[in-house]
Amino acid sequence: MGYQHMRLDSDPSSTLGVGLGQGEGTLLNPDAGGATPLSQTANSFHVSGGAVFSSRRNRASSNSESNWKGGAFAIGFTRLADFNTGSNYLGSVADGRSLLQRLREPRTALVGSGNGSLVEQSQNGYYNLDGLAFGTYLTDTASVVRNRTRQYSLLVQNRRGNIAQGEQVQNSGSMSQFDLAYGGSYRDRLYIGLGLGIVTSNFYSRRTFSEGESDATTPLNNYTLYDDVRTSGTGFNARLGLIYRVVDAVRIGASVQTPTWMYLTDTYSSTMDSHFDASGGYPAANYEATTGSNQYAYRITTPFRANGGVAVTVGKYGFLTGDVEYVGYQHMRLDSDPSSTLGDNASFATDNAGIAQTYGNAVNLRFGGEARLDIFRVRLGFAHYGSPYNSAVVNKAYTNLDQNYYTAGLGLRQGNFFIDAAGVYTRYNSYYSPYQLNNYSEPVIQVKNSRFTTTVTAGLTF
C-alpha cells in the first residue's frame, strides 16, 4: 500500500515601477484670438508584490493516485489604476460662450429669498457655483414691486467681446487591490482558481479655471474658480477562472469577475475670487467666496468582466498568448449609503439612467509573446482597450476614444532567481467641457494623453 506526501514550494516576488505622464490640452472650438496648446506633466512611483505557495501530491502507488494533483495559494498587492494625470489649456471664447453666459442662464430658485436662493446662501453659506459668483460680485439680484408683488431678477456683470479662458487640471492617486486566491489542478488537465480582491482607492483633483480680459471700458478684470475633490474608499470583488490543457502545447482559459462593490466618500470644496479695476468713481477691489469643505458618502458598483484566451507554447523557444475581455460599463450603478452619517437616502435614478445612456459595453484585446534565449527572456505585447462610451450619444467629431498599449520587456532566469524589466507606453485622447450651456455652445477641450511606465520585478523560487 503506497503512501503520499506533499512537496511544498514558494515563489515570492516584488515590483517597483515609475510612471511618466503628460497631458496636452487644446481648446477645440476657439473664437477670434485662437488657442494655445499647453502641456502638463504628472509622474508617479508604485510598488507591488506577492507570493505563491504551491503543493504537489506524490504517491508511491499509482493505483491509489488522486485525481487532484495539488494546488497553490497566492497573496498579492497590485496597483490597478494610476490616477496621476494633468492637463492645461489657454484660448479665446466669445462672451456668449463664457462662464458668465452660464451664470446668465435663468434659474428661478436663485432669485428671491427662499431656500436655495442667492440671498439665503449669502446668509447661511455658499454651496454652488451660482452662490460663489454672487459672493464675488459677478452677479447680483434686483427687485421691484409690481401690482403689490415683489419680483426679483438676476444681474450679471456687463461686458462684451471675447474673453481669455484657461484651465489647469492636476490629478493624483491610485487604485490598488490586495488579492487572496487558491487554485487546484485536476489530473494536470483542468486548473480551477478562486479569488477574493479587496480594493482601496484614493483620488485627488485640483482644478483651476480662469477667465480674464483687458477691456478698459469695463471694471471686471478677471476671476478664478478653484475646485478641490478628494475621493477615497474600499470595496471587494470575487473571481473564478478555468484553464484547460488541450494538448501539452495549447491551453485555453476563461474567467469572470464580479462587479466591485465600493463604498466611497467625497470631500470637496470650491473657492472663487474676482478682481475689478477702478471704474466710474469706484476703486479697484478684490473679492473671495468659498463653500468650505463638504463630505458625501455613497456606493458604486463597477462593471462585470468576462475574459477568454489561449496560450500556445512553441517548444523550448517561448510562447504566444491572446485574450479578449468583455466589460459591461453600461451596468455601472450609483447608490446612496444611508449607513454612513455622511450619506442620505437620495435617489440616484437620474444618474443611473444617464450612465445607461452614456456608456456602452466595451471589448478589450490583448496579445503577447515571449522568446526564450538560454537564461534570457524577451517579451513583446499589445493591448487595445475599447471606448466605454455609447457611440450613439458621443459626438462623432470627438472620436479616437480607444486606448492602445505597447509593451516590451527583458528577463533573466538563473537558478532559483529571476528578474524582469518591462516598459509600457500608451497614448489616447480625452474630451471634456468645463461647464454646460443651454444651447450646447460651451467650449470643448481635447487632451492628448501619453504615459510611459517602467517596472522591475525580482523574485525567488524555493
- For residue 364, give the amino acid letter: N
Whether residue 370 is found in the same domain as residue 432: yes
Check whether residue 147 and residue 13 sit in a common domain.
no
What pLDDT does 108 receive? 66
Whether 62 and 85 map to the same domain: the answer is yes
Nearest to 453 by CA among 72, 157, 85, 38: 85
Which residue in the block uniquely carries the three cell numbers 488657442? 35
Domain shared by 84 and 107, yes or no: no
Q: Are residues 123 and 149 in the same domain?
A: yes
Rounded-to-integer distance, Cα 74 and Cα 450, Å:
33
E strands in 28-138: 35-59, 68-82, 85-93
Residue at a domain's end among 159, 174, 203: 159
Dist. CA 151–CA 111, nearest whole Å: 9
User: How far, in Å, CA of 406 to CA of 386, rounded?
Assistant: 15
DSSP string, 53-83: EEEEEEES-GGG--SEEEEEEEEEEEEEEE-
Q: Which of these three, 142, 159, 176, is where a domain ends?
A: 159
Q: What is the pLDDT of residue 397?
A: 56
Say if residue 130 is in the same domain as residue 243: no
What's the CA angle centered on 395, arms 398 and 37, to 5 degrees? 30
Residue 393, C-beta contacts closer than 8 angstroms, at least 6 positions apart? 357, 358
Residues 270 and 311 in one domain: yes
Predicted confidence at residue 364, as pLDDT, reads: 97
For the record, the C-alpha cell of 145 comes out as 414691486
Among residues 135, 159, 183, the one where a domain terminates is 159
Continuous segment of H or E residues that includes residue 357: helix 349-358
Question: Which residue is listed with cell 487604485?
Answer: 175
Q: pTM for the whole thing?
A: 0.86
> From CA 330, how far away is CA 387, in angstroms rounded?
12
Nearest in space to 46 (alpha carbons), one of 20, 22, 16: 16
Instruction: Identify whether residues 148 and 88 lie together within a single domain.
Output: no
Residues 417, 440 share a domain: yes
Number of domains observed in the structure of the chain = 2
- Around 212, how many Cα atoms within 13 Å sit in the side-chain half-sphere? 16
Question: Count of CB atoms within 10 A of residue 87's CB?
Answer: 26
132 in the same domain as 59 = no
**CATH number for the domain that contains residue 190:** 2.40.160.60
Query: Scanning the structure block, which residue is given the C-alpha cell 487632451?
Result: 447
pLDDT tens per residue, the chain (462 residues)?
344 455 556 678 888 888 888 888 888 878 766 677 777 777 788 788 888 888 876 654 444 567 887 889 999 999 998 999 999 999 999 999 999 999 998 776 677 667 778 888 888 899 999 999 999 999 988 877 777 777 777 888 888 788 999 999 999 999 999 999 999 999 889 999 999 999 999 999 999 999 998 777 788 999 999 999 999 999 999 999 999 999 999 999 999 999 999 999 999 999 999 999 888 777 899 999 999 899 999 999 999 999 999 999 999 999 999 999 999 999 999 998 877 777 666 778 899 999 999 899 999 999 999 999 999 999 999 999 998 988 776 665 566 688 999 999 999 999 889 999 999 999 988 889 999 999 989 999 999 999 999 999 998 887
Residues 341 and 294 in one domain: yes
Looking at the fold, whether 361 and 431 belong to one and the same domain comes out as yes
Domain membership of residue 204 as a residue range: 4-94+161-460
State residue 2's pLDDT score: 41
Q: Yes or no: say if 388 and 355 are a contact pair by the CB < 8 Å rule.
A: no
Q: How many CB atoms lie within 10 A of CB 77?
A: 16
| pLDDT at site 45 | 80
pLDDT at residue 11, rounded to an integer: 73
